Chains A and B, each alone.
Chain A
Amino acid sequence: MAQILMKGNEAIAEAAIRAGCRFFFGYPITPQTEVPEYMSARMPEIGGCYLQAESEVAAINMVYGAAGSGVRVMTSSSSPGVSLKQEGISYIAASELPCVVINVMRGGPGLGSIQASQGDYFQATKGGGHGDYHLIVLAPSSVQEAIDLMGTAFDLADKYRNPAMILADGIIGQMMEPVELPEMKEYKVDPEKKPWAATGWKPGDKKQRAVINSLYITTEELTELNERLQARYAEIEKNEARWETYNMDGAEFVIAAYGTVSRICKAAIDELKQEGINVGLVRPITLWPFPKQAVRDAVMADGVKACLTVELNAGQMVEDVRLAVNGAKPVEFFGHAGSLMPTAEEVKEQIKRMREE
């Protein structure tokens, strides 16, 4: 299929539809409003459902309801809106339901700015809402990767009966790049594969009624749920870590970065290489499960003196990098909170400073 030029937000929406998503519930917020805008035009064309809810809280609960019937459903928002959705996300995780949530991050805390940010890493990877749960968190660094990860997100959500999140930022959402779209996929709920789905029951039906619930009033039952969830998270951690490495051969330093920031680091790495300084990159694609072993392997490689984690926040993923490296080598942080994008020049300066130390 030929390449077309597409904006990140619209590409995310079209990719979701092509992955079989037929239900979208959302509420507008910059910088992701093109997702619901696109869905509002596209869903009616293919017999899907687009609904602009009265609030983010309503939207996520509509997702909860649709997910309970086993269909492919998603919502999309940006940082403050995703905060509002956290209660519903916790309920969905507890009810063991698949769905996809998009967060096109903007600056925070509070209403913050509308420019790109990575300030929601903690929220996305450490829970976000209440209780012991995890989302599967995927972080694209290009429009094409955002498209590819949409299909992955729906597949993983179904496979593990767990909500998945695409954690993008304002630049991925607003940028246009050449992309290839996947083929359209029709998704039918298979009662054999999703026996839990509440698809309608009437007296005389043989199967047991499907009940979607997150309330376990006895400690025994709640413990059982939590043990089931933790076993599943362990399985996800074992199977689903994804990452990319770049320029690792003979690297003196390793940069850890994800999303748009990893591209800026690549530019810095390319320029440093021309100056005879070899720096590698390890880019987590799944932020949860965090690719611990891959990050550790990259930093522990022979010849690597230290790691520099670069983020568009005050230092969040750096904690996971430090846990992965576990004190074996120095892990430094560079970044700005408040949407001021680190530049390639700044990253180069940091590496040069680390070289002299």
Chain B
Amino acid sequence: MLEQNLFAGFGGQGMLLIGQFLAQAGMMEGKYVSWLPSYGPEMRGGTANCSVCVSDSPIASPVITKASCVIAMNRPSLDKFESFVRPGDTLIVNSSLVDVKAKRDDINVYYVPANEIAEKIGNMKVANVIILGAFLELTKCVSVDTVLEAIALKLGKKKANLVDINKQALVAGAEAVTAK
């Protein structure tokens, strides 16, 4: 198993962060992982993405040109990375911010209104974790429980009160791609 994931969005949408949650969780499950951010002209409001590999065997290249799953949190990310998805694999689009449909018909595309769901839950900041919930439901890359552990570790004791809303976000994201 080699999962090559690409999470992309605006700087500030937390794509690098959910990539770290996934990498941390993969490591906690005893898998090989790598997390590679885009860096450079990126800034808050600009585009930001990260490549996260999760594998049962040592990861040859952390650099991704073909992805088993792409998350596009905004329109520029969809335009740039739709072509990265391998035929038959998965593309998750944040339909709250992306008002067009994906062009390809040889991949599985899921539309998740992450910002609207976040608003319903009551915290706009968890839109990224909602999309991560959808990702985990679709790919089963790592278990939701391990991701929660990874989130709790990152939040630390001071922000432990935020674990619960992140859990809600993961569940809501999963529901968004199962309730059809």
Map CB proximity to A onto B49-60 as digits: 1 under 8 Å, 0 otherwise: 000000000011
In the complex, the answer to whether B61 meets A264 with C-beta atoms within 8 Å is yes
**Interface flag for B177 (CB, 8 Å):** no
**Interface flag for A151 (CB, 8 Å):** no
- Using A5-B20, A30-B39 as known contacts, say yes or no to A175 and B61 having CB atoms under 8 A apart: no
Min CB–CB distance A313 → chain B (angstroms): 16
Min CB–CB distance B123 → chain A (angstroms): 25
* Stretch binding the partner chain, chosen from B29-37, B67-75, B131-139: B29-37
In the complex, the answer to whether A171 meets B36 with C-beta atoms within 8 Å is yes
In the complex, the answer to whether B40 meets A341 with C-beta atoms within 8 Å is no
- Which of the listed residues A5, A260, A343 has the most CB atoms from chain B within 10 Å of its own CB? A5
B150 (CB) vs chain A CBs: closest residue: A5
In the complex, the answer to whether B62 meets A171 with C-beta atoms within 8 Å is yes
> Which residue of B34, B40, B62, B65 is within 8 Å of A115 (Cβ)?
B40
**Interface flag for B23 (CB, 8 Å):** yes
- Chain A interface size band reads 20 to 34
In the complex, the answer to whether A114 meets B39 with C-beta atoms within 8 Å is yes
- Residue pairs across A and B with Cβ atoms less than 8 A apart, 23 shown, are A5-B20, A5-B23, A5-B24, A5-B27, A5-B33, A31-B39, A113-B40, A114-B39, A171-B36, A171-B63, A174-B36, A174-B39, A175-B35, A175-B37, A176-B20, A178-B33, A263-B61, A263-B63, A264-B60, A264-B61, A269-B60, A341-B63, A344-B65
Min CB–CB distance A254 → chain B (angstroms): 17
**Interface flag for A208 (CB, 8 Å):** no
> Which residue of B23, B35, B40 is within 8 Å of A114 (Cβ)?
B40
Q: Which residues of A contact B23 (CB under 8 A)?
A: 5, 176
In the assembled complex, the Cα of A264 lies from the Cα of B62 at a distance in Å of 8
Size of the chain B interface, CB-CB below 8 angstroms:
18
**Interface flag for A170 (CB, 8 Å):** yes
Min CB–CB distance B4 → chain A (angstroms): 10
In the assembled complex, the Cα of A5 lies from the Cα of B37 at a distance in Å of 14
In the assembled complex, the Cα of A21 lies from the Cα of B65 at a distance in Å of 38
In the complex, the answer to whether B27 meets A344 with C-beta atoms within 8 Å is no
> Which residue of B34, B60, B63 is within 8 Å of A177 (Cβ)?
B34
